[in-house]
Amino acid sequence: MNRKICFWINICLLAAGWFAAATSVCAAEPAFKLRVATVAPRGSSFHQSFQNMGDQWRSAPGGGVLLDIYPGTQGGEPTIVRRMNPRVAQLDGAMLTAVGMGQIDRSVTVLQMMPMMFHSWEEVDFVRERLRPRLEKTFFDKGYVVLFWADAGWVRWFSKKPIVHPVDLKPMNVFASSGDPEAVELMKIFYNPVVLEPDKILSSLQTDMINTVPTPAFFANFLQVSTQTGHMLDMNFVPVVGAMVITRRAWDKMPSETQASLRKLAEAAGVEIRRNSRNEDNAAVVTMREKHHLQVHALPPGAEQEWRDEIAKIYPKLRGTVVPADMFDEVVASLAEFRSKNPATK
C-alpha cells in the first residue's frame, strides 16, 4: 500500500473517530431542559439538594432531563411566579415557599400564614399530608405540577433590641415580604412592616431602614443577619413551608416514564431537604451564638401563652382574607384531632 493511500486512510479513521466522539457527546445531552429558580442562595443546603436531584434527573428514562437552576438571582417569589406565567415563559419551575405559591392559589397559605397555629414539626407534617392531595389537585388545575414538599425552619425574631413580649414589637421596623399585601396590612396591628425584597435585608439593617427580621435561623446565619441584629427570640412563630412546582406546559412535553422517574427522585429530595433544613435550623442558632455572639432570649414563664393570646386576636381577620375560610377551618379541626391523639405535643 503506497504512502498516499495510507495517509488518506489515517485521515478517514481520525475523522470517523472524531465524528463518533461528537455523536456520543450529543447523545449524552438530556432530551429535556427545565429552567427553575429559588430564592435560596447559591451554596446553601437547599441549592445543593437541588443540584443533587438535578444530577439524578440527567439519567431519567426517556432521554434524561437537564435541570438548569437559578439560585437567588431571579428576584423575589412574586417575580419568579410571574416568570413562570405562560405569557412570559422565562422559567419552567421553582422552589417556592407558601408566599410564592400563594400567588398561584391562596389555599397553600394554611401551611405558613397562620402565626402560632402550629406547635411542632409533627403537627406540620400531619396537616400537610392530610391536605396534600387537595392542594396538589388545586395547583394541577391551575397549570402546575407539585413534585415535592419541603420546609425551611421556623421563623424566629432577629432584632437590634431584645424582643420577649408582643408589646416589644410595637416600635419596631420589621422586614416584610412583598408577596402578600393582605398579611402585611394585618401585621400593622403589631409592628411597622417595611416591604422589601430578600436581597435588601442586610443593607436595610445597615442603614436602619429596618431593625427586625422575622426569618428562619439558617437564612439569618447564611445572610449574616445576626451580625447586624444581635438578638433573637427563641420562639417558633410560623413554619416556612413550600414546594417545588413545574409548569404543566413543560411537564406535559415529557413522556410518562420520564415523569414517573422525576416524581420518585423528587419525593426523595423533598424528604432530604426537610430533614436537612430542620437539623440546620437548630445548628444555625448554635453557630450564631458561638461565632456572632448572638444573644438568644428564652421565653419567660407565661410569655408563650401571652403571644398566643395576642396573635389569636387576628385569626378572625386572617380567616377569609389571607387564608381561605374553609382551609383555615380544616387546619383548626385537623390540629384538634392530632392533639387529642397526641396529648404530649400540645
Give the domain CATH number at 156.
3.40.190.170
Asked whether residue 6 is assigned to any structural domain, the reply reads no
pLDDT > 60? residue 22: no
Asked whether residue 8 is assigned to any structural domain, the reply reads no
For 133, 139, 245, the CA distances from 275, given in Å and listed in that order, are 22, 25, 20
Question: What integer pLDDT is reported at residue 27 of this predicted model?
Answer: 47
Asked whether residue 265 is assigned to any structural domain, the reply reads yes
- Angle of CA points 263, 36, 62, to nearest 5°: 45
pLDDT tens digits, residue range 232-273? Answer: 999 999 999 999 999 999 999 999 999 999 999 999 999 988
Q: Which helix (H) or strand (E) holds 330?
A: helix 325-341
Average pLDDT (36-60) is: 84
- Please name the residue that has the C-alpha cell 391551575: 142
Select from 304, 223, 246, 281 the least CA-distant residue to 95. Answer: 246
Question: What integer pLDDT is reported at residue 39 of this predicted model?
Answer: 80
The single-letter DSSP state of residue 216 is E
pLDDT tens digits, residue range 127-148? Answer: 999 999 999 999 999 999 999 9
Cα 103 from Cα 106, distance rounded (Å): 7
Select from 255, 257, 217 the least CA-distant residue to 235. Answer: 217
* Contact assessment for residue 267 and residue 136, using Cβ atoms and an 8 Å cutoff: no
Kindly write down the DSSP assignment for every residue of 126-176, as one continuous string: HHHHHHHHHHHHHHHHTTEEEEEEEEEEEEEEEESS---SGGGGTT-EEEE
Cα 295 from Cα 292, distance rounded (Å): 9
Distance of CA 119 to the CA centre of its chain: 20
Asked whether residue 7 is assigned to any structural domain, the reply reads no
* 3-state SS assignment for residue 183: helix
Question: What integer pLDDT is reported at residue 346 of this predicted model?
Answer: 52
Angle between helices 45-57 and 256-291 (to 10 degrees): 160
pLDDT band at 7, cuts 50/70/90? very low
Question: What's the mean pLDDT when you consider all of the chain?
Answer: 87
> Which position has the higher pLDDT, 74 or 301?
301
**Residues ≥6 apart with Cβ < 8 Å to 106:** 322, 323, 324
pLDDT > 60? residue 23: no
Distance of CA 288 to the CA centre of its chain: 22
Asked whether residue 2 is assigned to any structural domain, the reply reads no
Select from 162, 147, 166 the least CA-distant residue to 271. Answer: 147
Strand 65-71 with 212-216, pairing: unpaired
Asked whether residue 24 is assigned to any structural domain, the reply reads no
Question: What integer pLDDT is reported at residue 335 of this predicted model?
Answer: 96
Q: Whole domain around residue 256: which residue ranges? A: 30-345
Asked whether residue 9 is assigned to any structural domain, the reply reads no
Average pLDDT (100-124) is: 93
As a whole-number percent, the residues of the chain with pLDDT over 90 amount to 62
Kindly write down the DSSP assignment for every residue of 247-267, as one continuous string: EHHHHTTS-HHHHHHHHHHHH
Q: How many domains does the chain have?
A: 1
Question: What integer pLDDT is reported at residue 138 of this predicted model?
Answer: 96
pLDDT > 80? residue 44: no
pLDDT band at 50, cuts 50/70/90? confident
* Contact assessment for residue 43 and residue 72, using Cβ atoms and an 8 Å cutoff: no
Question: What integer pLDDT is reported at residue 11 of this predicted model?
Answer: 39
Asked whether residue 18 is assigned to any structural domain, the reply reads no
* 3-state SS assignment for residue 32: strand
